[in-house]
Amino acid sequence: MAAFSAATPVDAGVLAHWDFEESAQSGSPDSFGRYFVAADSTGNYNAWRTSTSTAVRQDYPGKFGDAAVGGIRFAGGGSTTSFINIDPIGGMLSGDFTIAGWIKPETLSNIPTLFADWGSSLASQSFVVRLTKPDAESPYGLTFILSENGTGARLVNGTYGSIVTDQWQHVAVSYDQLGPTSAVANWYINGSLVGTQNVSAASVVPYGPAGSVYTFARDLSGNTYYNYNGLMDEFWVFDRALTSGEIGGLVANNLVPEPAGLALIACAGLCAAWWGLGRRRANGPLK
């Protein structure tokens, strides 16, 4: 079983992590004209906006952390400023990955987006994680879309599980390339596996267009139809497909999973130390 550590293990595979503990956006832009919104714990992908926005609030409680300002709220609706940006995450779409985080929707309407490549059309987007109502009788579910490298054709496209309003729910999607032509995608809600798709294609490497901007709470270049209304907290991006047990650790404790190999190495070192100590004690007093 993989071990969990409060401190991020060096090889845990964390590409980015936003805990949304900030209490307010920056009131002045940096040299690039960006207003700081939320820090990425790796220091590489801080969230920003090109203007301040009252539609994005940080004085709201989260699932973890500060009881008063531990989360971030998006007004959604018809607001044209209810989103935040990050620069494209290097390495995310060149191999395996996992996206995971907490959401608490206040309303569910249209097609609210959680995290996505900005894109100007569906064909130009490399990935989208959103909430979708498949039909009039079905509840909103977790949607994951991933495009094929070089063509824009869909490698992954599915909606699974059930999402409700006014409750914290943990959502996660993972992509695991098993070989050059096969992969598997998994959907999780509150740590439970709710959907799986097996992928078979000439190439299962996802499409990652250069110069894209990734966004929280909206996509498709300003179309408010995709606005998300509600809270978010503790979003992670990993450069590997987490196991269901590792995702369960995120749900239970918000602790970063240490890869099983590292846990075995740590165990081997500890066991060797105890074995040596036992031998020294058996052969005489310690000196």
Does residue 2 lie in a domain region?
Answer: no
The model's pTM is 0.86
Same domain, 240 and 285: no
**In Å, how far are 152, 193, 202, 205, 206 from 149, measured between CA atoms?**
6, 26, 10, 6, 5
User: Which of 150-159, 178-187, 192-201 is the least confident region?
Assistant: 150-159
H or E segment to which residue 86 belongs: strand 84-86
Q: What's the chain's average pLDDT?
A: 84
User: Which of 124-128, 139-143, 175-179, 198-202 is the least confident region?
Assistant: 124-128
Q: What is the pLDDT of residue 258?
A: 64
Q: What is the pLDDT of residue 116?
A: 92
As a whole number, mean pLDDT of residues 112-116 equals 96
Same domain, 102 and 238: yes
Same domain, 278 and 155: no
Same domain, 227 and 275: no
Write out the residue range of the structural domain in which residue 286 sits: 260-287
Does residue 25 lie in a domain region?
Answer: yes
> The CATH number of the domain where 103 resides is what?
2.60.120.200
As a whole number, mean pLDDT of residues 11-22 equals 90
Does residue 4 lie in a domain region?
Answer: no
Counting Cα atoms < 13 Å in the Cβ hemisphere of 162 gives 4
Same domain, 38 and 143: yes
At 222-268, the pLDDT tens digits run 789 999 999 999 999 999 999 999 999 999 999 876 655 444 333 34
At 50-106, the pLDDT tens digits run 999 999 999 999 999 888 889 999 999 999 999 999 998 887 887 899 999 999 999
Does residue 3 lie in a domain region?
Answer: no
Same domain, 107 and 159: yes
Does residue 98 lie in a domain region?
Answer: yes
**In this model, does residue 210 exceed pLDDT 70?**
no
Same domain, 170 and 284: no
**In this model, does residue 271 exceed pLDDT 60?**
no
Q: How confident is the model at residue 20 (pLDDT cuts 50, 70, 90)?
A: very high
Whether residue 208 contacts residue 93, with contact meaning beta carbons closer than 8 Å, is answered with yes
Same domain, 197 and 277: no
Does residue 5 lie in a domain region?
Answer: no
Same domain, 99 and 238: yes
Same domain, 287 and 252: no
Write the Ramachandran bin of 124: left for phi over 0, alpha for psi from -120 to 50, otherwise beta. alpha
Structural domains counted in the chain: 2
H or E segment to which residue 231 belongs: strand 230-238
**In this model, does residue 47 exceed pLDDT 50?**
yes
Question: What is the distance between the alpha carbons of residues 130 and 112, in angstroms, rounded to a whole number?
Answer: 6
Does residue 274 lie in a domain region?
Answer: yes
Distant-in-sequence, close-in-space partners of 204: CB < 8 Å, separation ≥ 6: 148, 155, 177, 179, 180, 181, 182, 183
- Tell me what percent of the chain is helix, strand and coil, each rounded to the nearest 5: 15, 35, 50
